[in-house]
Amino acid sequence: MSTTFTLGILETGRPPEALEEEYGSYPQLFADMLCIEAPEWDFRAYRVNEGEFPFTLDECDAWLVTGSKHGVYDELDWIEELKEFLEEAYEEGIPLVGICFGHQVLAEALGGSAVKSRRGWGLGVQSYEVTEDGKALFPEATEFSLNTFHQDQVVEIPESAKVLAKSEFCPYAALSYGDRALSFQGHPEFDRAFTKALVENRRGEVLTDELADAALSTLDEKTDNDQLAQIIVKFIEDRAGTSGTGGDETESPSA
């Protein structure tokens, strides 16, 4: 049973225009995914990639960082400001969740490192082995699968991090930071239709036909988006308390 919280979604990128018109913004994709498990939650979006940051750390009960076309190593002012924001929120014990770019920038903010991987692209449905540390979150699973779209990877984890899931291609696929932060390289907010549309949109731009076709060939495989949504909701609710601190004003994610 969910409790009323305000989740602040830190938007670090936008889908291609045609996809955003059809499927919505990244904050909307997350809201659509999480509201099934947490129908009483409020969602508030901030376009940090355009310089729109929260006024205070506790403006929302928890923060989620989206994916982005940018790399954490890009020399952009908003990325440095985001790292500082996440470090301060972590020190204050405000729950944090990072997805894809969010997974990478959270690791960077807390002392790790992410780079453009020599392993190449992670595309389509990828499966990850649950580690011993990951069994606390995945007590009944030995692996899980998510849609992916990334070339960057975390290559050095912070001292405070534990590896929850891994694969040969992506050794640091999911991380936890005590009871304060949780992050995943894969995209639980991406369904099959969106992933297919994204791959096709990038075909001939950043993806060769061979890479695009290989990614599309995996999309009939089962993903565990629902399980990840449950884990994210439980993580936030267990750590944010039951009263909520996100203020009185409710805002929907920007489309």
Label each residue of 48-75 as H, E or C.
HHHCCCCCCHHHCCEEEECCCCCCCCCC
Supply the residues annotated as catalytic.
100, 187, 189
- If residue 165 lies in a helix (H) or strand (E), which one and from where to where? strand 162-166
Please state, in angstroms and rounded to a whole number, the distance separating the CA atoms of residues 182 and 173.
Answer: 11
Please state, in angstroms and rounded to a whole number, the distance separating the CA atoms of residues 125 and 212.
Answer: 12
* Cα–Cα–Cα angle for 152, 131, 191, rounded to 5 degrees: 55
Please state, in angstroms and rounded to a whole number, the distance separating the CA atoms of residues 146 and 121.
Answer: 15
Are the CB atoms for 86 and 57 separated by under 8 Å? no
